[in-house]
């Protein structure tokens, strides 16, 4: 009698645990681009060039026919910033920090307006100044972002701040670098937070449809933040665990006491 009761109690406990920790996620809620068939999408990539903003960290290198003269413009005179790479390692990067007024301090040229310009516009401006002031002959100016990063938060395997070396990343690539969405992610309501001209824009993206491929938000911009919300299954399972765990442990304790007394 005691062994039979003990067996039944153990089976009941296992069943309770399975019911508590197992939540049903509909297959369609866990699939990207559900129902999408063969198609071709043309995105607008004409405006991919981001605009330089305050607090951006820029690498600016200058070369010309006279390497010794060019070297004077490549002296590191600027801020050093510590940042994490995609692999998770920490590196230090030195570059020209755009101040709160939107300017950088460039050798021999002094204060240069950078905020509000694209890299190409700033390159052209510096090149024109170097030629006009006869500082270099046929200069070549190269500018790169040192803090081109996006943040991925919420229901992903590895929430991260990602530094993008090639200065071009899609929303799907960023999610992949963060380890992809978890099974509990709400795929039809991903939030993209973007700051432009001092204003924050909030945009919702449905990854269960093909709208992302023709969306202007397919390619991310520097300092974009992606937040993935938990779905109802995650919220419900968490709520059930919090509600039933105390009752479950109380029931198991009572059961153990009862078995012990029956066994005597």
Q: What is the pLDDT of residues 192-248, one digit of tens each?
A: 999 877 788 999 999 988 888 888 889 999 999 999 999 876 555 554 445 555 656
Residue 45, judged by CB atoms within 10 A of its CB (0-12, 13-18, 19+), counts as exposed
Q: 51: which DSSP letter?
A: P
**Predicted TM-score of the model (pTM):** 0.67
In terms of residues, how long is the chain? 264
- Cβ 236 vs Cβ 22: under 8 Å: no
Q: Do domains 27-47+148-230 and 57-145 have the same CATH topology?
A: no
In CATH, the number for domain 57-145 is 3.30.1950.10
Alpha-carbon distance 237 to 25, whole Å?
A: 11
Collapsed DSSP state (helix, strand, coil) of residue 161: strand
Alpha-carbon distance 125 to 117, whole Å?
A: 10
Predicted local distance difference test score (pLDDT) of residue 226: 97
Q: What percent of the chain has pLDDT over 70?
A: 62
Contacts of 160 (CB under 8 A, 6+ apart): 84, 88, 151, 152, 177, 178
Strand positions, DSSP E, the chain: 57-63, 79-84, 90-97, 103-106, 110-113, 140-145, 149-154, 160-163, 190-196, 199-205, 225-228
Domain edges within the chain:
2-24+233-263, 27-47+148-230, 57-145
Structure tokens at 168: 């071009």
The CATH topology of domain 27-47+148-230 is: Outer membrane lipoprotein wza fold like (3.10.560)
Predicted local distance difference test score (pLDDT) of residue 261: 56
Per residue in 113-169, pLDDT (tens digit) is 999 999 999 999 999 999 999 999 999 999 999 889 999 999 999 999 998 988 889
Of 53, 96, 54, the residue nearest 74 (C-alpha): 96
Residue 41, judged by CB atoms within 10 A of its CB (0-12, 13-18, 19+), counts as exposed
Say whether pLDDT at 254 is over 60: no
Adjacent-strand bridge partners of 220: none
Alpha-carbon distance 92 to 90, whole Å?
A: 7
């Amino acid at each position: 009698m005691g062994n039979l009761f003990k067996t039944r109690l153990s089976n009941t406990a296992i069943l309770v645990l399975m019911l508590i920790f197992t939540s049903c996620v509909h297959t369609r809620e866990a699939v990207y681009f559900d129902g999408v068939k063969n198609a071709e999408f043309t995105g607008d990539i004409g405006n991919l060039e981001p605009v330089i903003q305050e607090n951006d960290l820029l690498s600016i290198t200058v070369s010309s026919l006279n390497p010794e003269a060019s070297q004077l413009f490549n002296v590191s005179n600027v801020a050093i910033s510590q940042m994490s790479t995609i692999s998770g390692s920490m590196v230090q990067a030195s570059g020209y920090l755009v101040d709160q007024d939107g300017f950088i301090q460039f050798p021999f040229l002094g204060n240069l307006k950078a905020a509000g310009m694209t890299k190409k516009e700033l390159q052209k401006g510096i090149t024109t100044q170097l030629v006009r002031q006869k500082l270099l002959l046929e200069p070549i100016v190269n500018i790169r972002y040192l803090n081109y990063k996006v943040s991925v938060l919420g229901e992903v395997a590895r929430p991260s701040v990602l530094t993008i070396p090639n200065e071009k990343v899609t929303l799907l690539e960023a999610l992949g670098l963060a380890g992809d969405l978890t099974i509990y992610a709400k795929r039809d309501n991903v939030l993209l937070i973007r700051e432009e001209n001092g204003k924050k824009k909030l945009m919702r993206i449905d990854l269960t449809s093909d709208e992302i491929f023709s969306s202007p938000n397919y390619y991310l911009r520097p300092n974009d933040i992606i937040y993935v919300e938990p779905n109802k299954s995650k919220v419900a399972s968490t709520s059930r665990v919090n509600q039933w765990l105390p009752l479950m442990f109380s029931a198991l304790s009572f059961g153990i006491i009862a078995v012990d007394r029956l066994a005597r």
